Structure 1
Amino acid sequence: MVGSLFRRLVAMPAWRLMARPSTIGLAPAAAPRPSLAVQAVAAKSFSTTPVRPATIMQVLRGCRKGKRARHATSPALSSIDAPMKKGVCLKVGIVRPKKPNSGERKTARVRLSTGKVITAYIPGEGHNIQQHSVVLVRGGRSQDCPGVRYHLVRGALDLAGYMKCYADNKQGGVNNRMTSRSKYGAKKPKKATVA
């Protein structure tokens, strides 16, 4: 098809080519302008401010520096891409919380299976871990304890769940935890039979 058009164009006399109007220099036909109501809606729906490219001076001043990556909340786990790690408890201690809060937060110094030594928070009321206990460590900092960036998992390995800790060891306290049982490794309490 292109060949036949080219042949016709070449075969056409020069005076016929000159007689045809040229569309090269003409502007395209103007589209109908939208009404003011349509323009107002379009202006509200998104910003019409054009994005300007950076100038040479801005580039020389260093406007194109990339953003620094955020530091990891739990670096010992995120560096090896592991959600949890097994570890051995070296020492159990108490940490005082930061300024507005008061109390005693139970923590443990743990050597992970990778060899790193970290400080982890022991959640829940009461615990049964001591030196040489094998525990499971997950990420997540304790918000009011400085330097504590990990949590121990209740009900995994040597760290007993909430109910077991009290029922087996007779340490007292609330025996039946009803809410957030999965967080503390507590079993579902048995229903009391009515006689």
Structure 2
Amino acid sequence: PLNFTTTPPTPATFNQVLRGCRRPQPKRKPESPAMSETHNPCMKGVCLKVFVMAPKKPNSAERKVARVRLSSEKVVTAYIPGEGHNVQQHSVVLVRGGRSQDCPGVKYHLIRGALDLGGVPNRSTSRSKYGTKKPKKGI
């Protein structure tokens, strides 16, 4: 059984009302809009362009990203996780949501080991995230 409180809820104070507590709160924007509009966990897409991007201020690197046309005709920028990749123009890839924290405008990830994008070779930890098969035991 649920624990119901016996005390009645306190009404909003005058200052809370002045600050706008009775106005409905604004809805949160989706992190990956192209996915949430169609309610898909992932979508197929075709790479239009593969390039590197510089991350935001405190970080310094070359982040590998791809411009992808999704099956819904939307064009998005997606991050390519892991070391090394075989994506090129016209590659068919699987795109999932989830932004890249230090790349502005990158709100999607490519799924490694699906369709034309291969898994990360010689990966031993977190293999399921990078599409790597379990290594064969040496005899």
TM-score, normalised via structure 2 length: 0.88
Structure 2: which amino acid aligns with 1:183? K
For structure 2, list consecutive stretches of 5 or more residues without a partner in the other structure.
1-6
Instruction: Tell me how far apart the structure 2 counterparts of residues 122 and 61 of structure 1 sit (CA, whole Å).
Output: 44
Instruction: Tell me how far apart the structure 2 counterparts of residues 120 and 88 of structure 1 sit (CA, whole Å).
Output: 11
1:136 to 64, 78, 94: 94
1:150 to 103, 108, 111: 108
Q: Deviations along 1:93-123, whole A, 9 cap, x unmatched?
A: 1010111111100000000000100000000
Which residue of structure 2 aligns with residue 109 of structure 1? 67
Structure 1 or 2: more helix by fraction: 1
Question: Alignment partner of 2:125: what SS?
Answer: coil
Across the two proteins, how many residue pairs are aligned to each other? 135
Structure 1 or 2: more strand by fraction: 2
- Give the CA RMSD over aligned residues: 2.4
Which residue of structure 1 aligns with residue 23 of structure 2? 65
TM-score, normalised via structure 1 length: 0.63
Greater Cα radius of gyration, structure 1 or 2:
1
From the superposition, tell whether residues 63 and 96 of structure 1 become closer, same or farther in structure 2 (CA, over 3 Å). same
Instruction: Tell me how far apart the structure 2 counterparts of residues 138 and 182 of structure 1 sit (CA, whole Å).
Output: 15
**Percent same amino acid among aligned pairs?**
71
Give, in angstroms, the shift of residue 156 of structure 1.
0.2
From the superposition, tell whether residues 58 and 142 of structure 1 become closer, same or farther in structure 2 (CA, over 3 Å). closer
Give, in angstroms, the shift of residue 53 of structure 1.
2.3
Question: Comparing both chains, which one has the higher relative contact order based on Cα–Cα distances under 8 Å and sequence gaps of 6 or more?
Answer: 2
Which residue of structure 1 aligns with residue 126 of structure 2? 180
Which residue of structure 2 aligns with residue 10 of structure 1? none
2:35 to 77, 82, 94: 77
Question: Alignment partner of 1:109: what SS?
Answer: strand
Are 1:96 and 2:54 counterparts?
yes
Which residue of structure 1 aligns with residue 4 of structure 2? none
Give, in angstroms, the shift of residue 177 of structure 1.
1.2
Give, in angstroms, the shift of residue 52 of structure 1.
3.4
